[in-house]
């Protein structure tokens, strides 16, 4: 069966712009990490009554973003298409080769969910547009639309639902993930209580136009990501893993940098 790649992302910058309905609104630059991805495929299974995900996951099936994507897709389809989807998932399980660390700020769960939606759309010929898939994905998580659109780089705003492609030089990014499981809601809570300082519209527009390469040359890790300080505040052991020249992705725990070009010194 065909294998589908679910790529990781990093947040080149992540700034809070305000609050809406209990959510934080953001402006962020998402960039795909071409060297890091999970692989998803449909595989035939023995039992035909249970939704099955084959892979190493610490959560129960119904807590998995792939199952949540299935439930959201099922609820949005016409009865005939919904029946086809149910039949597909009775015959096949979803096998996931997991390479993107969980709880890491690299979007692994969101990317898996988006990839599953695209797989179903393709295999069942559902005819859903990217916009329709993105709206379904948004019910699963705020980062899912970015992965549905398959952009290499994009400015993401609102609570994640506004995704604007940015054509720019792709950077060869390497990631480093300490073994610290970070709770995104907890980090946002600490930000709200201790660090809340949203940026204004002028700064938003400036950041949206600035190439990622320039952001990483001119901003420190703390300046680029509003969640870095609250994450350090809540997870003190993060400090032991921070290395100069690295940046912080999402709410962590992953750090990243542009891969140094190999120079031959003879």
Known catalytic residues are 9, 143
Helix (H) or strand (E) holding 75: helix 65-76
H helices of 181-225, in order, are 184-190, 201-209, 212-218, 221-224
Q: What is the DSSP letter of 236?
A: G
CA angle centred on 123, ends 102 and 108, rounded to 5°? 10
Strand 173-176: give its sheet, edge to edge.
173-176, 255-258, 247-248
Neighbours of 110 (CB within 10 A): 25
Neighbours of 170 (CB within 10 A): 14
Neighbours of 13 (CB within 10 A): 22
CA 82 to chain centre: 26
Distance (Å, whole) CA 169 – CA 179: 31
| Residue 106 token pair | 């690299």
CA 29 to chain centre: 12
| Residue 149 token pair | 């659109």
Distance (Å, whole) CA 229 – CA 223: 9
Q: How far is CA 209 from CA 29, 32, 66, 157, 180, in A?
A: 10, 18, 34, 14, 33
């Amino acid at each position: 069966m065909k294998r589908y790649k679910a790529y990781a992302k990093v947040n080149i910058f992540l700034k809070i712009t305000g609050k809406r309905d209990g959510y934080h609104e953001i402006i962020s630059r998402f960039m795909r990490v071409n060297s890091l991805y999970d692989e998803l495929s449909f595989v035939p299974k023995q039992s035909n009554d249970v939704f099955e995900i084959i892979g190493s996951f610490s959560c129960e099936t119904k807590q998995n973003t792939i199952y949540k994507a299935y439930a959201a897709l099922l609820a949005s389809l016409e009865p005939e298409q919904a029946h086809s989807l149910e039949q597909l998932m009775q015959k096949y399980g979803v096998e996931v080769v997991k390479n993107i660390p969980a709880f890491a700020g690299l979007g692994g769960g969101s990317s898996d969910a988006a990839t599953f939606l695209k797989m179903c759309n393709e295999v069942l010929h559902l005819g859903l547009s990217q916009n329709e898939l993105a709206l379904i994905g948004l019910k699963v998580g705020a980062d899912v639309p970015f992965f549905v659109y398959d952009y290499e780089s994009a400015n993401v705003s609102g609570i994640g639902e506004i995704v604007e492609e940015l054509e720019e030089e792709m950077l060869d990014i390497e990631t480093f993930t300490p073994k610290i499981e970070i709770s995104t809601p907890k980090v946002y809570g600490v930000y709200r209580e201790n660090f809340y300082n949203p940026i204004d519209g002028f700064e938003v527009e400036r950041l949206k136009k600035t190439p990622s390469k320039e952001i990483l040359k001119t901003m420190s890790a703390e300046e680029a990501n509003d969640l870095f300080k609250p994450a350090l505040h809540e997870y003190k052991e993060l400090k032991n893993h921070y290395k100069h020249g690295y940046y912080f992705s999402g709410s962590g725990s992953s750090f990243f940098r542009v891969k140094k070009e190999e120079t031959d010194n003879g």
